[in-house]
A = this chain, B = another copy of it.
Amino acid sequence: MSEAILLQAKPLTQENFAAFGDVIEAGMSEPIMINEGTTERFHALSEVQLGSAEDKAIISIFRAQPRSFPMSIQMLERHPLGSQSFHPLSQEPYLVLVADAVEQPSAEHLHLFLATAQQGVNYHKGTWHHPLLALNAVSDFLVVDRAGKGHNCEEITLNQDIEIPLDYLIQGEGSST
């Protein structure tokens, strides 16, 4: 075994993700009844952030290959000019890896979450995050992000030996990395 720093995931909640973005999930708030009572609207679970009045919000689909574990974590990226949301379409859970808002994140700034197949995330403008970490199967995600002029993707290389282990979920309460 290497002496890699191991990351372990917590279940994703609105509260533990609030510093990084929004969790997009039905049933966490009171819905509005619409369409003559046939539809519940869980309204404005998140907002698309843009950089300027000329920017557009666009809708794309990302098709992600599942990752293999243990997995070495080498880099993060951030989008300074807009938010970026991911919503799972393939009934598969996935991992969400983000970092605190520092210029050069190191292991102690990283936060790994396990999202259920019913939970989307919207990274706030500028939130450091790892590219999609699909699990189990090829997984599609509906992505809402920003299109427009200017450079909207910054990448950073991590300077430590950091790994998501095979058993990436913290088992039970009180466990730690």
CB of A110 within 8 Å of the partner chain? no
Chain B residues, CB < 8 A from A120: 59, 142
Contacts A48-B57, A56-B47, A59-B44 known; A38 to B91 CB distance under 8 Å?
A: no
**Beta-carbon contact of B61 and A38 below 8 Å:** no
Q: Decide if A99 is an interface residue (CB 8 Å cutoff).
A: no
- What is the distance, in angstroms, from A19's C-beta to the closest C-beta of chain B? 19
As for how many copies of this chain the complex holds, the number is 2
CB of A135 within 8 A of chain B? no
* Alpha-carbon gap, A24 to B142, bound state (A): 9
Chain B residues contacting A58 (CB-CB under 8 Å) are: 43-48
A53-B53, A147-B44 as given contacts; A26 in contact with B85, CB under 8 Å: no
A162 sits at the interface (CB 8 A): no
Q: Identify the 3 closest CB pairs spanning chains A and B, nearest first.
A: A35-B131, A48-B57, A53-B53
Which of A85, A87, A89 counts the most B-chain CB atoms under 10 A from its CB? A89
